[in-house]
Structure formats: C-alpha cells, structure tokens
Structure 1
Amino acid sequence: MSSVGTAPERRALLRRRIRWLVAATITYNVVEAVVAIAAGTIASSVALIGFGLDSLIEVSSAAAVAWQFAGPDPERREKVALRVIAGSFFALAAYVTVEALRPLVAGDHPDHSSVGIVLVAISVVVMPVLSWAQRRAGRELGSASAVADSKQTLLCTYLSAAVLIGLVLNSALGWWWADPVVALGLAAVAIREGREALRGETCCPPVHLDEDDAPGETGCTDGCCTELGR
C-alpha cells in the first residue's frame, strides 16, 4: 500500500480519546501547579516552583490541542497548536534559566519540602501513563500536535524525576546547589523540545482512506511522527 491511514470511524475514536486524555492532563496539572508553586514558595525551591510553572505551561499546551480537536477539521488548526506548544517550551526555559541562576549567584539555600517530594513522586508515576496513551493515539491518527503535546507531558516526567533527585539531595545531604542545577538542565531540555515542536509544524499530513483500510495503521507517511514520538 503506497499510503496508509485509518478509517473514518477509527479517526473519530482517536480524536475523542485525545480529547479525554487532554482533559485529564489539564485537570491533573492544574492541581499539581497549585501545590508545587505553594510548596516551592515556602521552601524557596526554584526547581519546585519551576516544576509548578511547567505544569501551567503543560496546561496551555494541552489546551491548544483541546482547541484543535474541538473544531470540525483538526488538521487545519494543527500549525497553530504546534506554535503554542513550542512557545510553551521556550517560555518555561526562559523562566527556569533566570530563576535558577539567581540562587546560584546569591547563594540562597532552598529548604526541605516533604509536600514537594511526595507531589513530584506521584507525578513520576502519573505523567508517563498520560504521555504514552496520548502519543500512541496521536501517532496512529497522524497528528503532530498530539504527539508534540505528549512529549511536553513526557518532559514533565523527566522534570519530575530530576526535581525529585534535587529535592532529596538537598534534604538528605544538604546539596542546595542541586536544586538550581537540575532546573538549568530542564531548561536545556525544554529548548530542545520546543525546537522539535516547531520542526513538526508541517509534517504528518492527514491521510483519509476507505472504510476497509486497516484501523491499526498510522496516518503518518513521512516518518516525522515516529521521530517526534521516539
């Protein structure tokens, strides 16, 4: 077969699945952001505050995908959604970089945060599940924006693990510098992911096939969704 894709019924199912996953992601991240920013403010933890802000940025990214799939023709809105997702990555990188350099220069030491450690540990478990489910649906549908947003969610998993390490090192060993150093590493990852989202802007064109086409095939024919979802 020269081009592969999904039948209309399967595409409709995948679009509904993505909408539900996006709604779950938004709900979880709003709660996560409130708790993380509050706990980070109390503990003066840049990484924890940055983690909370990343949750808000993830909300904006997911909201862009929700807006895209709320319309009758999601493919026409994909470029705009990808730009919003890329901008979200860059905004996170800029804020975290500035806020991480400040304590390194001033020598401010973040305090222990039990609430932050528990919250971040939960995110390490929840975020990969949401990311995997959305990436799988997005790749089968051939939606670059859904895949890019799933990578934003996956970045939240990496961020969770990194922040957790920083918080534990600070609490157990007094390595206060681990917190801002971790934050700087996350900023670098965010820039890379933002650039990848922009590169995915024009890829994965939708492919509409007949009813008897295999529903399990991916609608991405140029390989870019595979690259985005690796």
Structure 2
Amino acid sequence: MFTHIVSVKKGVSIELISILWMIVEAGMAIGAGLMAHSLALVAFGVDSIIELISGAVLLWHLTIEANGASLERVKRAERTSSWVVGIALLLLALYIVIASVDKLWTHQGAESSYLGIGLSIASGVIMPYLSRAKKRIGSEIGSKVLRADGSCSIVCAYMAWTVLAGVVLTALLGWWWIDSIAALALVYFVVKEGWEAIQEARGKEDACGCCHDDDCC
C-alpha cells in the first residue's frame, strides 16, 4: 500500500511537470506563431491549451488518489472534461482546415521563426521523455488514464516534429505554402484526439485517449 501511494505521488509530480511545460509551450507557440503569422505554430499552441484542461483533471484525479479519497467526484469531472476537450479539439481541426485553405487560396505565407524552431525541438525531446515516465508510472499503479495520457504526450511529440518540419523549411527555403500544409498535417492528430475524448465522455470502455499502442488499453 505504501509503495502504491509513493508511485501515485510520482504520477502527480510527472503530471505537474507536464502541465507546467504545456503552459510554457502554449504561450511560446502562440506568441511565436502570431509574430511569424504561422498557422501551424498557433494551432500547436491552442492544442497545448486544450491539453492543459485534460492534464489538470488528471492531476486532480491523482492527487485525490494519493490522499486516499473517493474518486467518484473526479470520475464525473473527467467525463465533463472529456466532452469539453473533445468538442474543442474538433472545432480546432475545423478552424485549421478553413484557415489553411484560405491562406493557400490567398497565397499567404509565414515568416521565419527561430523561436518556433527552438520550441519545436524542445517539445520533440521533452514529450517522449514525459510519455515514457507516464506509461511506466501508470503501469506501476495500474492507472489506465495515466498510461493513456502518456500516449497523448507522444502524439504531442509527433505534432512538434510536424511543426518543426514546417518552420525549418520556411526558414531555409522560404516556401510560402509549407506552413499551411504543416497545419493541415496536424488535423489528423487533432481529430483523433478529439474523437477519442468524445468516446471517453460517452463512457466507451474501449476508448483509450490518444492510444497508439496496446499497452495503454
């Protein structure tokens, strides 16, 4: 029992680190995106804000579990959070598609963003580390939701690498259209996250948010 509580507290710590990074990531991505007129960076930042909602509820869940309290109230909050996150992500995907098509139609490109390059590299390195830690601790305490959140973290890394490709090509080659293409590439990840969140909100037993492997289901 003591070992379990210690592991849960480790889960609280890693989730807190994840939330703090999401705050930094969201602020820097949106700021860099607005300065460079980069739809991909702004979309990446908005996705980070939405993920903050889910992360905050999970942190609450782990904190209550660490204190040995009932989880019934948290379960209700998780359902509500899943609805909010799912709908917000699907709306974000719709916005990305409309804005990308508009930019391609009107030949609007993004400017070089070295801040965006640095942020994308940092996210691409940090998120896989957080993913492994969440999955390991989730396995130790038998927490499906923490393992699933670890899978979400690796999805964030995929998104960071996609954004990195766009901002690097913009800086090196000046392709006006590549930012919109990179933004459209994010739609797959955003829609998948949004649909899985809605499935969780509906109480689907096999819904495993952001899963890309079998060990979180």
Task: Report matched runs for 1:161-200 at 5 Å.
Answer: 161-199=161-199
Q: d(CA) in 1 for partners of 2:40 and 2:105?
A: 15
Q: 2:214 maps to what in 1?
A: 227
Q: Is there any run of 5+ residues in structure 2 with no aligned partner, and where? A: none
Q: How many residues in Structure 1 have an aligned counterpart in Structure 2? A: 204
> 1:5-24 residue pairs with structure 2 within 5 A?
8-24=1-17
Instruction: Give the 3-state SS of the residue equivalent to 1:175 in structure 2.
Output: coil
TM-score (norm 2): 0.81
Q: Which amino acid aligns with 1:176?
A: W
CA distance in 1, matches of 2:135, 2:187: 22
Alignment check: 8 A CA contact 2:22 2:48 kept: yes
- Counterparts of 1:52-63 in structure 2 under 5 Å? 52-63=45-56
The 3 A distance-change label for structure 1 pair 136 and 198 is farther
Q: Matches of 1:226 and 1:110 in 2, distance apart? A: 35
- SS where residue 69 of structure 1 aligns? helix
Aligned-partner residue type, residue 65 of structure 1: L
Higher alpha-carbon deviation: 98-107 or 119-128: 98-107
* 1:142-153 alignment runs, 5 A limit: 142-153=142-153
Equivalents in 1 of 2:116, 2:5: separation in Å? 39
The residue matched to 1:107 in structure 2 has which SS? coil
Task: Look up the match of 2:107.
Answer: 107
Higher helix share: 2
Structure 1 segments, 4+ long, off by >4 Å, are 197-204
Gaps of 5+ in 1: 1-7, 205-223
Distance verdict in 2 for CA 1:157–1:75, change over 3 Å? farther
CA RMSD of aligned residues (A): 2.7
Q: Is the 8 A contact 1:93 1:188 kept in 2?
A: no
| Alignment partner of 1:77 out of 74, 77, 84 | 74
Partner Cα separation in structure 1 for residue 82 and residue 17 of structure 2:
17
2:139 aligned partner: 139
